[in-house]
Amino acid sequence: MLAKVYVTLKPGVLDPQGKAVRSSLASLGFLGVEDVRLGKYVELRLAETDPGRARAEVERMCERLLANTVIESYRVEVS
Amino acid sequence: MKVGVVVFPGSNCDHDAAHALELLGHEPLLLWHKETSLQGVERILLPGGFSYGDYLRAGALARFSPIMAEVGRFADRGGPVLGICNGFQILCEAGMLPGVLARNASLRFVCKHVHVRVEAGESLLTRGLRPGTVLRLPIAHADGNYTLDDAGLDALERSGQILFRYCDEEGQLSAGANPNGAMRAIAGVRSERGNVVGLMPHPERACEGLLGATDGRALLESFLS
């Protein structure tokens, strides 16, 4: 199975990288960008074939390592 | 005193720390991160550097090194543990200290001497230092922006777990004196129980006049007393 994990900063957590990207976009003339939030994308190829078990396993990985839940949240897609 | 200095792949202040410990009359023991014995040390120091290249998040991978299970048990028994810079990041990732060290608000790697104000005396790192004392110490990091939710920060304030705040020469807090955007200007904290401490500045690089600052001595002497 393929698991896709999106790790993003929780709302309200300062994202200086996002701010820098937004200001670069503005300097390129893309003036309509109100906010930019950067995150991480992780792709995992799993031996597991049951979607439910795969998702549960990946969620445990997120809790333990892939995300720091003090400041980040995550979303898992399994296919 | 025998002090363990843990060496992760990418640690680069391990020898600075060992040098400072020797200078203060102690016996540093470099402990490779794959080891599972602390070899009878009485203190553990997690040094600065870029363990695992800061991959994923600073400190995120180092916390799963074999020796960290032992360091955790040592701390659970009340053993004193100090994390400096990357060591601080590792202790936060391991959940042994509250909070996270996020990317500097400026996005820049900041390498300079800064001032910090002692907030809590009589901690593992600040024995003999009065609250309000201003210290001059070097920093060198890209991820030192201390971050925690408001409730967590309030709890730290109430329990006196904030050890140092960035300030100016006079001890005043200001945005200009905060080198990384740290919430409430926090530069160092202790665990609830007090035997685990971490800070972003480098006391081990501030123990000799030759290096331009000597205020780190008092902190290490406190840790080793």
- Judge whether B204 counts as a catalytic residue: yes
Residues of chain B with C-beta less than 8 angstroms from the C-beta of A66: 56
Beta carbon pairs, A and B, within 8 Å: 35
Domain boundaries, chain A: 2-78
Q: What class, spelled out in words, does domain A2-78 have in CATH?
A: alpha beta
The torsion of the CA quartet B116, B119, B124, B129, rounded to 10 degrees, works out to: 80
Kindly provide the ipTM of the predicted complex, given to two decimals. 0.83
CB half-sphere exposure, B84, CA atoms < 13 A: 31
Contact B200, B141 (CB under 8 A): yes
Domains and CATH numbers, chain B: 2-223 (3.40.50.880)
- From first to last of the 225 residues of chain B, give the pLDDT tens digit: 999 999 999 999 999 999 999 999 999 999 999 999 999 999 999 999 999 999 999 999 999 999 999 999 999 999 999 999 999 999 999 999 999 999 999 999 999 999 999 999 889 999 999 999 999 999 999 999 999 999 999 999 999 999 999 999 999 999 999 999 999 999 999 999 999 999 999 999 999 999 999 999 999 999 999
Contact of B147 with chain A, judged by CB distance below 8 Å, is answered with yes
| Per-residue pLDDT tens digits for A17-75 | 999 999 999 999 999 999 999 999 999 999 999 999 999 999 999 999 999 999 999 99
Give B174-201 as a DSSP string: -GGG-SS--GGGEEEEE-SSSSEEEESS
In DSSP terms, B4 is beta-bridged to B29, B44
Identify the pLDDT of residue B121: 85
> Which helix (H) or strand (E) segment is B28 a member of?
strand B27-32
